[in-house]
């Protein structure tokens, strides 16, 4: 295959995956709101309500505050959305290979996850609002809190694959193709469960959801980071949240629940890919319903001075215990 053909194929898949990410992400937000409503004994909005909200925002006036830095204020939501879509290009979707999967690994994905948050911070500072400024400061504090436990999870999983002799252990395609559950013994299973708990705890903070939504806290900061955004810019930030919801759900599925239906049931290639994609979406919905929807309905918001303590003292410790258990499990397997 020529270089032009390869580039053309990557561009085509990029467009397809981006459209899928936007559609599936908004669908996930609709499911989240519907489930939360039923948990609170409400009827809730329609599943397509996020699509309706985005359509309305796109046709509303885009207001720029008088004290804002216009070019940065308008550029921030674009960077946030584009960077979120780029992350999706590295994550396998069912049995479909990711367009850029061979050009980046889990370390790159971890760093790319910080770009939407940094873009939001830049937009908050650029708005000139004191509420958004406080929200931007809180976002940076939250990032400092959850990056350390997230790094522990990434290193622990990749190290266990490397210890098992798996080549390229940081590639998501490698991790998805070699489920870590099958490489460990009883101690290792406990360690993997602990790492899953840590990643599940990081996810609400990445999405600015309760109990880690201190940067947007409506009752304290009137919306915080996004208080001055409206119209098209607010629509782009809403789309960013939708895509990141899919990205984080897909990341958890790829690392901890990578199994496909086609691995258990024989079916033609085309049907197998479609069935695996539907099964992948089902897993993402299930995972995000438990670690995001259930948590935000059942918990109250942490104070900002509690966030770093919770992540560095509690979840970092849980992650380190999980890593030590994986190391002990590997050592025992070597002895036996």
Q: What is the mean pLDDT of residues 177-182?
A: 89
CA-to-CA distance for 206 and 255, rounded, in angstroms?
17
Q: Name the average pLDDT for the chain.
A: 87
Q: Which two tokens stand for residue 35?
A: 């489930």
pLDDT score for 167 = 86
CB burial readout 169-193, b (16+ within 10 A) else e: bbbbbbbbebbbeebbeebbebbbe
Q: What is the mean pLDDT of residues 271-297?
A: 91
Closest CA to 238 of 51, 73, 86, 83: 51
Q: What is the mean pLDDT of residues 291-297?
A: 90
Closest CA to 143 of 172, 121, 166: 121
pLDDT score for 243 = 94
Q: Are 190 and 181 in contact (CB under 8 A)?
A: no
Please indicate, yes or no, whether the overall pTM of this predicted structure exceeds 0.95.
no
In this structure, how many other beta carbons lie within 10 angstroms of the beta carbon of residue 144? 13
Domain spans of the chain, in order of start = 3-335
Closest CA to 157 of 123, 109, 102: 109
Q: For residue 13, with 0-12 CB atoms within 10 Å meaning exposed, 13-18 middle and 19 or more buried, which class applies?
A: middle
CA-to-CA distance for 243 and 79, rounded, in angstroms?
13
Closest CA to 129 of 41, 64, 49: 64
Q: Are 122 and 72 in contact (CB under 8 A)?
A: yes
pLDDT score for 307 = 87
pLDDT score for 219 = 63
């Amino acid at each position: 295959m020529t270089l032009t053909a390869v580039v053309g194929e990557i561009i085509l898949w990029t467009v397809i995956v981006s459209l899928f990410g936007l559609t599936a992400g908004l669908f996930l937000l609709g499911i989240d709101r519907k489930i939360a409503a039923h948990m609170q004994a409400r009827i809730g909005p329609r599943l397509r309500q996020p699509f309706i909200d985005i359509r309305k925002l796109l046709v509303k006036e885009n207001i720029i505050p008088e004290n804002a830095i216009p070019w940065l204020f308008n550029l921030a939501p674009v960077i946030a959305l584009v960077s979120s879509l780029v992350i999706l290009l590295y994550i396998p979707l069912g049995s479909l290979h990711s367009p850029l999967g061979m050009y980046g690994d889990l370390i790159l994905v971890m760093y790319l996850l910080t770009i939407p948050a940094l873009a939001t911070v830049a937009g908050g500072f650029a708005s000139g609002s004191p509420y958004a400024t406080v929200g931007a400061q809180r976002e940076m504090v939250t990032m400092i809190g959850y990056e350390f436990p997230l790094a522990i999870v990434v290193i622990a999983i990749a190290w266990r694959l490397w210890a098992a002799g798996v080549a390229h252990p940081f590639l998501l395609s490698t991790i998805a193709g070699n489920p870590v559950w099958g490489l460990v013994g009883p101690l290792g299973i406990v360690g993997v469960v602990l790492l899953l708990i840590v990643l599940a705890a990081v996810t609400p903070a990445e999405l600015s959801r309760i109990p880690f939504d201190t940067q947007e806290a409506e009752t304290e900061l009137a919306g915080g980071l996004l208080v001055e955004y409206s119209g098209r810019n607010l629509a782009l930030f809403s789309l960013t949240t939708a895509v990141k919801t899919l990205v984080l759900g897909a990341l958890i599925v790829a690392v901890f629940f990578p199994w496909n239906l086609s691995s258990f049931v024989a079916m033609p290639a085309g049907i197998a890919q479609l069935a695996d994609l539907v099964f992948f979406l089902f897993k993402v919905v299930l995972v995000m319903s438990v670690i995001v929807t259930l948590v935000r309905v059942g918990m109250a918001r942490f104070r900002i001075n509690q966030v770093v303590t919770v992540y560095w003292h509690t979840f970092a410790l849980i992650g380190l215990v999980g890593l030590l258990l994986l190391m002990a499990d590997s050592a025992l397997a070597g002895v036996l």
